[in-house]
Each structure stands twice: as structure tokens, then as C-alpha cells.
């Protein structure tokens, strides 16, 4: 295992708890949590006193509030983001013998969800300007077996959906959006209207993993859709395949959004836009503070609101050295992701090799994610920018 891999592994198991020992941790969930802790304690007490822990009132109410926020008809809370993707595919009747197109540069969950329904992931490279899935390559990856595309709104940036929606229409494919990193991001459609990511296609899949822009206190996820039939199926699948107790119409599973988690999310959702706005300001400030550094590239340009900066990613040929330099300066940075999915040992059976997706592979060698979160202070951000400038001097 390389040093980069080890670092990435360490930090995915414990992505910043506020006591990481860094002057500038990658995320600071302890400080974040303090800002709404009193309300959370009250809400949790109420759930406890009602003792309705599974599919309780807060789950239903959060689903209603989240669907209203997104502007979709239905929201179905599930156990985590991976299950959101997997159950969305299953509800769309994607299964064995089918192919699903996904970007090579994403988190492993996107591909595992496809594998989870028995379908085959077909990876495509990214666009070198936006790092979104490259639509021209999507078009050429379509075969008679293709059933769906999963665009990923990576790092918090809306993927370019228009060409994908056109391809899907032309070939009769479904689109399942992976919105795990981009709750609150918006995208402008052809008619000039703006819609939330996750409300643009057949289904939008969210993760409430603690470190995400909208995170709970454990695992959680949700599928958003305007399709009543899909919503019905999802509600059954997440709950042992039953609509009526002990009448199991399909082979479901157990993947429900806990009432306690929903209670936390109900407190956080009204603050999401404000937190995202703070992330956007921090990103803008990084751009200003680092404008003079010629050796860094940014790939985050786009209309305001179309990027909610789950991550602030910079690119440089000297990535590994910069990473070490920043660690020594007390700054925690991460690499998203050090190895594209097609080169992960877990998917070796698909037969991809190095060189298949040059854009994703180059990005994996050059990208570094800097600390960004609503609670990041000016002083902390200055410290990061100073350390980066010093490195390139
Ligand atoms: C976090 C994440 C997921 C999975 O979410 P979990 O809640 O951890 O299962 C899926 N896709 C992407 C792009 C993610 O970042």
C-alpha cells in the first residue's frame, strides 16, 4: 500500500472529528455540531420519549421537508447513500445482464450499487475541464444492454446534465443521479429554469454520512423522485418488501432512515443553504489567496450555486510533495480519489487497465482537496494559503 493510499484509508475511517491533532483539520464536525447541539438534544429526547425509532414521525416529516426543498414529489429515506443508489436501480428494474454507465472518477459506492443489483458497471472517462462524466464518451459506451447512466455531482459540482438527458431520451435509458456530494447544488435546464441536483432525472440519491454537506450522526440516505410507482417500490424494498405488515410482495431488504437520524436532519436542513453559501465564500477566498500561484490549477468554474464545494480541489504536478509539506505545517488534506474505480483491485474482474481513462488517471495523480467547511476561520484559511504559497516559492 502506498503512503497516499494509507492516508486516504485512515481518513475515510475517521474523517476529522475535531480532535485530529491538525491545526487545520480536513473537517471539523465537533465545532459544526456545537452550533445546533441544544436543538438536537431536545429533538432526540422527544424521539426517545415517543419511542418510535423505526419509520417514526420524524422520518416521514423529514421526507416531506426534503422533497419540498428539492422540488420533487417523493423522498424515501434509506439506510445510507450506497443503498439509495442500489435501491433506485433495483426499483427501475435494472438487474442481471444489464449495463450501467458511470464515471471512472468517483467514490466506489457508485460502482458497488451497480454491482449490487447484478448489473455490470461500464466506466467512462471524465471531461478534463469539469471532471464530470464526458457525454461524448457516454454516447459511445451505449450498447443494446445499457439500461441506465449514473452521473455523479462530484465534489459538490453539478454534472452537465443536458447532454446526458438527451442521450437517455434517445436511447430509452434511465438516469440515476449520485448527489451524495452535492445536496443544495442547482443546475440550469434548457428552458432557463434552475432545479436542484437530484431533481433532474428519474431518481436522485443522497447520502447523509456525517462528513457530507448535509450529514447526520451515523449513516443515512435518501432517494428523491417524481415517479409515484418508483416511490412505492422504494418504500417496499427498504422495508422487507412489505406494504402491509407481514405481507411480503417483493424480496426487499432492511434499509430505513432511522427516526433519530431524521430528527437531526430536520434541524440541519433549514441551515443547509446558509452552510453551502459559506462554503462558496471560502472557495472564492481560496481562489483569491492562491491567484498568484502559477503552478496550481482549479477546475471549479461555473454558475454561482452550481457548485456547493463539498470539496475544494486543486491540481498540481507536485501533489505528493505538497501533501507532505501541508501535513508538516499542521494542515490535513485528502486525495479524492487516489485511484480511479477501474483500477481498484475490487473491480479487477472487469478487465480494465491503466491508460484506459487518461483524464481520470491524470486527475488521480494531481488532485488535492483542501480543508473547506462552513466553520473554517479566516486564520485557518490564511494558514493553508500561506503554506501553499511558501511551498511554490
Ligand atoms: C459518500 C458517497 C456515496 C455513498 O454514501 P454512503 O452514505 O457512505 O453509503 C456515494 N457516492 C458518492 C459520490 C459519495 O461521495
**pLDDT tens digits, 376-392:** 999 999 999 999 999 99
> Which residue's alpha carbon is nearest to atom 6 within ligand 1?
81
Give the position, in ligand 1's atom list, of the atom nearest the Cα of 219. 7
CA distance 204 to 227: 11
Give the position, in ligand 1's atom list, of the atom nearest the Cα of 220. 7
Residue 357 pLDDT exceeds 90: yes
What is the percentage of the chain residues whose pLDDT exceeds 90?
A: 91
Residue 356 CA, ligand 1 centroid: distance in Å = 24
Omega before 337 within 30 of 0, i.e. cis: yes
Stronger pLDDT, 66 or 300, i.e. the higher one: 66
> Which residue's alpha carbon is nearest to atom 7 within ligand 1?
81
Residue 337 pLDDT exceeds 70: yes
CA distance 357 to 335: 18
Please list the helix, strand and coil fractions of the chain in percent, rounded to the nearest 5, in that order: 45, 15, 40
> H or E segment at 328?
helix 319-328
Encode 247-266 in three state secondary structure.
Answer: EECCCCCECCCCHHHHHHHH
Residue 62 pLDDT exceeds 80: yes
Contacts of 248 (CB under 8 A, 6+ apart): 240, 241, 242
Angle at 188 between CA 182 and CA 189, to 5 degrees: 120
Give the position, in ligand 1's atom list, of the atom nearest the Cα of 84. 9
Stronger pLDDT, 22 or 73, i.e. the higher one: 73
Residue 341 CA, ligand 1 centroid: distance in Å = 14
Choose among 236, 308, 243: nearest CA to 279.
308
Residue 1 pLDDT exceeds 70: no
Residue 208 CA, ligand 1 centroid: distance in Å = 8
Angle, in degrees to the nearest 10, between helices 37-50 and 259-268: 150
CA distance 189 to 205: 19
Sheet holding 297-298, edge to edge: 297-298, 312-315, 367-370
Cell of 264: 437531526
DSSP reduced 3-state for 25: coil
Mean pLDDT of the chain: 94
Residue 14 pLDDT exceeds 50: no
What pLDDT shows up at residue 19?
62
- What is the best residue among 78, 181, 218, 369 to mutate for testing ligand 1's pocket, by most ligand atoms within 8 Å of CB? 181
Contact residues of ligand 1, CB 6 A cut-off: 80-82, 106-107, 109-110, 152, 178, 180-181, 207, 209, 219, 221
- The answer to whether the predicted template modeling score (pTM) of the entire model surpasses 0.85 is yes
Residue 13 pLDDT exceeds 70: no
- What is the best residue among 82, 105, 131, 220 to mutate for testing ligand 1's pocket, by most ligand atoms within 8 Å of CB? 82
Question: Cα 114 to chain center, whole Å?
Answer: 16
Cell of 296: 496550481
Choose among 306, 367, 308: nearest CA to 161.
306
Question: Strand locations in the chain, DSSP E?
Answer: 74-78, 99-103, 120-124, 146-149, 174-178, 186-188, 194-196, 203-207, 221-225, 242-244, 247-248, 297-298, 312-315, 367-370
Residue 17 pLDDT exceeds 80: no
Give the position, in ligand 1's atom list, of the atom nearest the Cα of 154. 13
Residue 393 CA, ligand 1 centroid: distance in Å = 37
**Integer-rounded Cα radius of gyration of the chain:** 21
Dump the DSSP string for 187-253. Answer: EE-TTS-EEETTSSSSEEEEE--TTSSS--SS--EEEEES-HHHHHHHHHHTBTTEEETTEE-S---
Q: Which residues of 324-341 are buried (b: 16+ CB within 10 A; e: fewer)?
A: ebbeebebbbbbbbbbbb
Handedness of CA 338, 298, 201, 232 (dihedral sign): positive
Cell of 390: 511558501
- 287 burial (CB, 10 Å; 0-12 / 13-18 / 19+) is middle
Residue 339 CA, ligand 1 centroid: distance in Å = 16
Give how far Cα 216 sits from Cα of 12, 79, 110, 212, 343, Å: 16, 11, 20, 9, 31
Give how far Cα 389 sits from Cα of 25, 47, 148, 230, Å: 19, 49, 44, 51
Choose among 299, 270, 286, 237: nearest CA to 386.
286
Each residue of 208-256: pLDDT tens digit? Answer: 999 999 999 999 999 999 999 999 999 999 999 999 999 999 999 999 9
Each residue of 72-84: pLDDT tens digit? Answer: 999 999 999 999 9
Q: Which of 67-81, 159-173, 246-260, 297-311 has the lowest mean pLDDT?
A: 297-311
Contacts of 21 (CB under 8 A, 6+ apart): none
Residue 3 pLDDT exceeds 70: no
Residue 7 pLDDT exceeds 80: no
pLDDT confidence tier of residue 305, bands split at 50, 70 and 90: confident
- What is the best residue among 81, 340, 360, 369 to mutate for testing ligand 1's pocket, by most ligand atoms within 8 Å of CB? 81
Which residues are 334's β-sheet partners?
Answer: 369
Amino acid at each position: 500500500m502506498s503512503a497516499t493510499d494509507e492516508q486516504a484509508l485512515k481518513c475515510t475511517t475517521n474523517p476529522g472529528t475535531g480532535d485530529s491533532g491538525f491545526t487545520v483539520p480536513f473537517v471539523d464536525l465537533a465545532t459544526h455540531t456545537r452550533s445546533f447541539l441544544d436543538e438536537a438534544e431536545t429533538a432526540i429526547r422527544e424521539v426517545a420519549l415517543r419511542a418510535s425509532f423505526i419509520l417514526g414521525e420524524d422520518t416521514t416529516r423529514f421526507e416531506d421537508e426534503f422533497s419540498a426543498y428539492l422540488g420533487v414529489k417523493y423522498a424515501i429515506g434509506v439506510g445510507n447513500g450506497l443503498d439509495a443508489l442500489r435501491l433506485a436501480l433495483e426499483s427501475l428494474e435494472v438487474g442481471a445482464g444489464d449495463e450501467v454507465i458511470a464515471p471512472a472518477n468517483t467514490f466506489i459506492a457508485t460502482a458497488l450499487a451497480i454491482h449490487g443489483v447484478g448489473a455490470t458497471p461500464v466506466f467512462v472517462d471524465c471531461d478534463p475541464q469539469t471532471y464530470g462524466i464526458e457525454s461524448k464518451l457516454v454516447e459511445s459506451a451505449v450498447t443494446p444492454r445499457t439500461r441506465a447512466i449514473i452521473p455523479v455531482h462530484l465534489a459538490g459540482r453539478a454534472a452537465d446534465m443536458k447532454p446526458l438527458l438527451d442521450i437517455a431520451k434517445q436511447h430509452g435509458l434511465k438516469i440515476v443521479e449520485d448527489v451524495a456530494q452535492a445536496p443544495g447544488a442547482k443546475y440550469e435546464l434548457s428552458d432557463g429554469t434552475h432545479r436542484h441536483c437530484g431533481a433532474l432525472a428519474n431518481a436522485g440519491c443522497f447520502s447523509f454520512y456525517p462528513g457530507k454537506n448535509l450529514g447526520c450522526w451515523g449513516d443515512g440516505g435518501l432517494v428523491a423522485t417524481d415517479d409515484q410507482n418508483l416511490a412505492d417500490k422504494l418504500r417496499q424494498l427498504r422495508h422487507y418488501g412489505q406494504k402491509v405488515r407481514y405481507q411480503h410482495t417483493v424480496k426487499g431488504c432492511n434499509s430505513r432512515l432511522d427516526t433519530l437520524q431524521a430528527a437531526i436532519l430536520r434541524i440541519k436542513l433549514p441551515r443547509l443553504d446558509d452552510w453551502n453559501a459559506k462554503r462558496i465564500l471560502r472557495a472564492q477566498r481560496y481562489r483569491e489567496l492562491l491567484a498568484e500561484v502559477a503552478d496550481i490549477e482549479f477546475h471549479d468554474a461555473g454558475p454561482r450555486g452550481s457548485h456547493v464545494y463539498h470539496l475544494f480541489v486543486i491540481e498540481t504536478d507536485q501533489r505528493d510533495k505538497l501533501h507532505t509539506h501541508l501535513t508538516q505545517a499542521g494542515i490535513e488534506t485528502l486525495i479524492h480519489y487516489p485511484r480511479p474505480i477501474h483500477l481498484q483491485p475490487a473491480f479487477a474482474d472487469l478487465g480494465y487497465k491503466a491508460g484506459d481513462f487518461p483524464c481520470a488517471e491524470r486527475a488521480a495523480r494531481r488532485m488535492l482537496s483542501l480543508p473547506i467547511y462552513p466553520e473554517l476561520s479566516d486564520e485557518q484559511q490564511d494558514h493553508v494559503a500561506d503554506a501553499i504559497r511558501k511551498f511554490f516559492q
